[in-house]
Chain A
């Protein structure tokens, strides 16, 4: 006896109701997008704007002083965006490296049993975490741009010079024999990897250990240094010299890049230190006590027992901090560091192609974050405890 299917029977059937609900939501979403699209088309027509990515080939007419690849005001919008993307990558990678160093250092110092040191680090962490990053960026930038003029540059660390146009640093010039140093370095790395694989295998089979750290230092530092000096120091440092109004030699880091770098590194470093602290604390003391009772020495306990378990807790939030840092680098626009968002904003104002520029931003940042979360999922799967 087949029942007649009416709206009523669908509503009181669990699956039927599910389908109906989804259909309604789908319709609502479709209507929402249809309204937005039609409004957009109407508005663009009213403003006499065209859409499409063809404008990326047009000439940009504006200058970018911070650039990693060749660019002039005759270059295209597309090239300008690539310059911006590279600037984002530059400041993010500098920031990530420094923030990780600061974060691990501060996190471990905060766990120190020295009361004064742990309080000092706590002060740093609380101050940087509770003040807006944008304010910190602008603050550092204001300080760096109010430094003495070029003529009264502050020298430090030997050949660095600091002034209101940024940091002047010596730049290396590689001469052709340096190629050999480079080749030695690569060969030694391969040998080191091979030795470490061999020693691990031997340790598993026979229990004999091999002084792998010592061998690594010898192969990776001493031999290349030997080759470097043997070839007569083939790096020629170009040390900045003050001339009457400017500098000769060396390369310049702009105050914008420097301010952004310092602010991002100290801000994210504070967050990372919290993550590191939580990670180390998450390994229960029973673990290290058990390791001691097995006869492991303190550094072995740290390296073989505590750190691997702490890393399991540390890595996932750490990657999301890296992602935050990359996204936060877009605050560059406030001090005029020309990153992807800042250059995109200029293009948006010049060409009026708001939709396309915003789409490019979204695609770039989204692919970065999706790649990061893909890595995180892979890593989580690899290191997660296999539970019964």
Chain B
């Protein structure tokens, strides 16, 4: 019988036209008449756009100079980057103290580790560090304990986007969990309050909520009490994000089969214990991609603070565009800011897609 197998002819290589580069092109670019036309049109557009952009951004650009009038080139004028880069990152934070912001940013990563992975040595200490991080970061940024105080109206640039975005997402997580549980509660009052809050927040644009933070919150507070404007923004951004977070987590909760909670009850666990030990760990794991997406949305929305007069990275860009020294460099400036956001948001969205795929694999 073995001999029969040996008698098979070796399979011949596929025809040259269907393999290799040519085959790939035929299959993916020129498979039909309309496809060929589409390919040619796309090639034409790319041939127009890419060299023009590269020429503008790099080859015909200038990177040195003190004002825009020093730029004598056709392409982009990047001369301002050298002078203004610090402002784009840190706003008006005093230059001698900027190491504190960088340190706070670097410390963020060890603080994030316990949330991402569970198998690292020294995990327990990292967890404590993670809990203490908000206080450490606040002291580093605002001052105290021997560090010079920096008033929050000096905060700005990309740092402000990060502060508002990160505090918003971290604070909205617990609130969002409570709202999601409340929306599924059997107690009608709690259910209706949660639904009312979630729908009211999701129904209005973030800008109106920022107006509330800027104009109405001081009216709601006792007459002799004032609240820092960045803290007011963080409060409203948290309220905003927690409504969206609640919906994401609700999706996760609904995906947990009711057998899980019934089993937990059968084991004698009460409501909070069965939620904390059985349901939420599973539900939150499913919702991580959604949470990351909410964060991306929130992070993009942090640029809205310019409407109430804070100088985040976009605010600094706007100020620079209208500065007489650099007037008319709007394209360069906005492309620069866009690259910043694109880098952060695109990598996060890839991360969330990767998580989603991994979760999908685990479940099957």
Contacts and interface: CB of A to CB of B under 8 A. Distances in A.
B237 to A, nearest CB: 14
Interface stretch (A66-74, A194-202, A277-285, A355-363): A355-363
A146 to B, nearest CB: 7
Contact of A116 (B39, B203, B349): B39
Nearest to B321: A142
B125 interface: no
A266 to B, nearest CB: 13
B303 A39 contact: no
Interface string B149-185: 0000000000000000000000000000000000000
Contacts of A354: 211, 215-216, 219
Interface residues of A, number: 55
Nearest to A330: B205
Interface stretch (A222-230, A236-244, A310-318, A364-372): A364-372
A187 interface: no
B225 to A, nearest CB: 9
Interface in B299-349: 300-301, 303-304, 306-307, 314, 318, 321, 328, 330-331, 334, 337-338, 341-342, 345-346, 349
A43 B205 contact: no
A55 to B, nearest CB: 16
Interface string A13-55: 0000010011001100100000010011011101000000000
B205 A341 contact: yes
Given A113-B28, A146-B328, A132 B222 contact: no
B301 to A, nearest CB: 7
Interface stretch (A3-11, A133-141, A291-299, A301-309): A133-141
A130 B211 contact: no
Contact of A39 (B211, B222, B342): B222
Contacts of B39: 114, 116-117
Given A114-B39, A142-B331, A355-B216, A22 B223 contact: no
A324 to B, nearest CB: 9
Contact of A22 (B189, B200, B220): B189
Interface in A338-388: 341, 345, 348, 354-355, 358, 361-362, 365-366, 368-370, 373
A122 to B, nearest CB: 12
Contacts of B47: none
Given A39-B223, A130-B345, A365-B208, A139 B338 contact: yes
Interface string A79-114: 000000000000000000000000000000000111
A135 B303 contact: yes
Given A43-B223, A327-B204, A348-B215, A25 B189 contact: yes
Given A127-B342, A345-B211, A115 B28 contact: yes
A358 B43 contact: no
B179 to A, nearest CB: 13
A171 interface: no
Nearest to A131: B338
A179 interface: no
A116 B29 contact: yes
B138 interface: no
B288 interface: no
Contacts of B220: 36, 39-40
Contact of B203 (A44, A132, A369): A369
Contacts of A134: 303-304, 306, 314
Interface string B191-217: 001000001101111011001100110
Interface residues of B, number: 55
A116 B334 CA distance: 28
A134 B313 CA distance: 12
B190 A25 contact: yes
B145 interface: no
Contacts of A136: 338
Contacts of A186: none
A331 interface: yes
A200 B14 CA distance: 50
Nearest to A369: B203
B48 interface: no
Given A21-B190, A354-B216, A365 B35 contact: no
A76 interface: no
A169 to B, nearest CB: 25
Interface in B214-270: 215-216, 218-223
B337 A116 contact: no
A126 B187 CA distance: 43
Among B205, B304, B330, B338: residue with most chain A CB under 10 A? B205
A120 B46 contact: yes
Contacts of B346: 126, 130
B301 A327 contact: no
A334 B307 CA distance: 6
Nearest to A140: B334
B42 interface: yes
Contacts of A36: 220
A108 B227 CA distance: 50
Contacts of A345: 211
B38 interface: yes
A113 B31 contact: yes
Contacts of B200: 362, 366
Contacts of B28: 113-116
A333 interface: yes
A362 B209 CA distance: 9
Given A39-B220, A120-B46, A331 B304 contact: yes
Nearest to B188: A22
B9 interface: no
A288 interface: no
Contacts of B190: 21-22, 25
B31 A327 contact: no
Interface in B31-55: 31, 35, 38-39, 42-43, 45-46
Contacts of A355: 216, 219
A328 interface: yes
Given A132-B341, A341-B208, A369-B199, 7 more contacts: A39-B223, A116-B29, A120-B46, A355-B219, A358-B211, A361-B208, A362-B208
15 contacts: A29-B193, A39-B219, A39-B220, A43-B218, A114-B42, A116-B38, A126-B346, A131-B342, A134-B303, A139-B334, A348-B215, A354-B219, A355-B216, A365-B203, A366-B203
Interface of A: 18, 21-22, 25-26, 29, 36, 39-40, 42-44, 46, 112-117, 120, 126-127, 129-136, 138-139, 142-143, 146, 327-328, 330-331, 333-334, 341, 345, 348, 354-355, 358, 361-362, 365-366, 368-370, 373
